[in-house]
Amino acid sequence: MNDILRNLPGIAAPLDLCDPLLASRFDNSFVRELPADPLQRDVPRPVRKACYSRVSPTPVAAPRLLAWSDDVGALLGIARPQAPDGAAAAVLAGNRVLPGMQPYAARYGGHQFGHWAGQLGDGRALTLVELIGADGRRRELQLKGAGRTPYSRHADGRAVLRSSLREFLCSEAMHHLGVPTTRALSLVATGEPVERDMFYDGNAQDEPGAVVCRVAPSFVRFGNFEILAAHEELDELRRLADYVIATHHPELGPPAPEVYAQWFDEICRRTALTVAEWMRVGFVHGVMNTDNMSILGLTIDYGPYGWLEGYDPGWTPNTTDAQGRRYCYGRQPEIAQWNLLRLAAALSPLIPARSDLEAGIAGYGRSFAAASRRITADKLGLLALDADDDALLTELDDLLHAVETDMTLFYRRLAEVPTGRAAAQLADDELLAPLRPAFYVDDGDCGRHLLPWLRRYVDRVRRERQDPAARRARMNRCNPKYVARNYLAQLAIDALEQGDASVIERLLAVLQRPYDEQPEHADLAARRPEWARHKAGCSALSCSS
Ligand code: AMP
Ligand code: MG
């Protein structure tokens, strides 16, 4: 592979998206190697015995580049477009398909809120092409909001600016936090209105439309396998599995029954690590349906997601989930396992020994527990947890919940709590002072609840005799200062809807270094302001997007 790449033109210097030289790095392996829907009509319909349908994006009125990720551009070897309304914006809005691109919409199904929902598929997303990046890796360029496909059902194939900006911003922020995720190259305004009833209350309104160009090695989901298994399309099931293994796990070797089992183990392991990372940073996905679970263990499909502000394991940002709270923060590990069981059922024709599937699921539990213990130790600045720490951990969970405490601020500031020899002699207020900014309602009482725990914690830290500077640095590598707080994304949306890109640009830049102090941007690390407590888009989000 490296030899091929060395001979490819344009690897060193980034190219314009429309530069014909870039096409030498295009590939369409998904289209080439997997069974296609024989029909080529974008009319919504059930599709059978296929992994995808060839589609064309539907052009929009006035494509205009609103935001660009230089980081992803560099990865792909694509230069930032010179003109916001030039040829690159036309490609990124779906108005122009470049030679060498073979756009398709993937066929998938899924379990939504615990129930089999049948065929779903890319109803408003389409993969334009796979691009071999500057690092030699293959990544799909996928447009979201580029028009109807055979999988659009009753919907319009479009996306609104607010949800597109949220996906663009958060996927980049997650990457820089170190969480496995799909990424985003661009955000383009369509110049067309999209009608949405944001809270499903009969108040439909026109909103500005947008298209995000998402980037990932693969957008295949658990649901791509589930739909094939549901229709007993076993040849197609095997071909999709073989394709994913050969393309994304070549180290597992050529397909064979034991290779399928190892692959399932790997899916379980990756899923466990990603969910453990979500828990670390306080991310709530909001719609963990099996069609929103990546076969590569990436965070995928940013919809009504949210960030824990006041620590509350029962919190869900998704208004559709407000009653059942199936997808709340605290249940994410359990739901991921439930989803893996659905995937196990879909893969059972390939992995007939039940014990192999059970071993994968058991591996999920082990991987999650191990990752979670390592993360908890890092968050608390402890070298390792022991059984005696269980009470300390449970009590902290209860305390953070009982007194509305900002999760991000609490852990970040915990590194500032004095733990030196003099700590035992410190007055209560001095010990608590670093944590005060984390309390949402500080009537003086918050700290009193926490104090007995804090004193025990300080003693526990002191027993390990760590180097204070090394401990602090390790904590600060695990506990971000900056996350894409819900209200910050909303401020960026409000500004961009008025034509002001400065807020999103600043956020993108700051969120690229979430663990650095960046004191000049400290306002972006502050507690959620009170005006945002119940504001739509800041605390409650709907699936309407
Ligand atoms: P989501 O809840 O965004 O993961 O989407 C669930 C399913 O609905 C997927 O099959 C999407 O492609 C489809 N979908 C969501 N919004 C639209 C839309 N505006 N037009 C067409 N399909 C959509
Ligand atoms: Mg989805």
DSSP letters along 172-196, please?
Answer: HHHHHHT--B-EEEEEEEEEEEEEE
Asked whether 104 and 127 are in contact (CB, 8 A), the reply is yes
Q: Residues 458, 459, 462, 468: what is their CA dihedral angle, to the nearest 10 degrees?
A: 0
Which ligand lies nearest the alpha carbon of 109? 1
Question: Which one, of 540, 524, 536, lies nearest residue 484 by Cα?
Answer: 524
How much distance in Å is there from the Cα of 134 to the middle of ligand 1? 32
Q: To test the ligand 1 pocket, which listed residue (153, 163, 195, 320) has its Cβ within 8 A of the most ligand atoms?
A: 153
pLDDT at 6: 47
Share of the chain above pLDDT 90, in %: 89
Label residue 5 by pLDDT band (50, 70, 90).
very low
Check pocket membership of 133 for ligand 1, CB cut-off 6 A. no
What residues sit around ligand 2, an ion, with C-beta below 5 angstroms?
292, 301
Rounded Cα distance between 180 and 272, Å, is 11
- 83 vs 539: which has the higher pLDDT: 83
* pLDDT of 12 strictly over 80: no
Can you give the pTM of this predicted structure? 0.96
Contact 145 CB / ligand 1 (< 6 Å): no
Cα(38)–Cα(30) distance, integer angstroms: 15
Query: Which residue out of 37, 42, 122, 291 is catalytically annotated?
Result: 291
- Asked if residue 120 has its Cβ within 6 Å of ligand 1, the reply is yes
Supply the residue whose CA is at minimum distance from atom 10 of ligand 1. 120
Give per-residue pLDDT as tens, 287-303: 999 999 999 999 999 99
Is 77 near ligand 1, meaning CB less than 6 Å away? no
Closest CA to ligand 1's atom 6? 120
Query: Could you report the per-residue pLDDT of 166-182, keeping only the tens digit for each?
Result: 999 999 999 999 999 99
Average pLDDT over residues 211-238: 98
Kindly give the distance from the C-alpha atom of residue 292 to the centroid of ligand 2, in angstroms, as a whole number: 5
Q: What are phi and psi of 216, to 5 degrees?
A: -160, 155
Q: What is the DSSP letter of 470?
A: H
Residue 303 CB–ligand 1 contact under 6 Å: yes
Nearest CA, atom 22, ligand 1 = 123
Q: Facing residues of 294 across strands? A: 221
What CA–CA distance (Å, rounded) separates 206 from 363?
A: 47
Q: How far apart are CA 284 and CA 363, in angstroms?
A: 23
Residue found by looking up tokens 């994410």 in the block: 332
Please indicate whether residue 481, judged by its CB atom, sits closer than 6 Å to ligand 1. Answer: no
Per-residue model confidence (pLDDT) at position 40? 81
Is 321 noted as a catalytic residue in this protein?
A: no
CB-count burial class (<10 Å; 0-12, 13-18, 19+) for 103: buried
| DSSP string for 52-86 | EEE--PPP-S--EEEEE-HHHHHHHTBPPPSSTTS
Q: Residue type for 57, please? A: P
Identify the band that residue 539 occupies on the pLDDT scale cut at 50, 70 and 90: confident
Task: Note the pLDDT tens digit of each residue in 409-448.
Answer: 999 999 999 999 888 899 999 999 999 999 998 777 778 8
Going by pLDDT thresholds of 50, 70 and 90, the confidence category of residue 527 is very high
In this prediction, residue 492 carries a pLDDT of 97
Is residue 225 pLDDT above 80, yes or no?
yes
Separation CA 502–CA 495 (nearest Å):
8
The three-class DSSP label of residue 416 is: coil
Contact 310 CB / ligand 1 (< 6 Å): no
pLDDT at 3: 45
Q: Ligand 1 centre and the CA of 143: distance in Å? A: 13
C-beta atoms surrounding 428 within 10 Å: 13
Residue-wise pLDDT for 68-77, tens only, equals: 999 999 999 9
Residue ID of nearest Cα to ligand 1 atom 23: 123
CA of 215 to the centre of ligand 1 (A): 18
Contact 221, 300 (CB under 8 A): yes
pLDDT in tens, 393-406: 999 999 999 999 99
| CA–CA gap between residue 503 and residue 523 (Å, rounded) | 13
- Residue matched to tokens 């605290």: 330
Which phi and psi (to 5°) does residue 79 adopt?
Answer: -80, 150
Ligand approaching nearest to the C-alpha of 112: 1
Question: Distance (Å, rounded) from C-alpha 167 to C-alpha 321?
Answer: 19
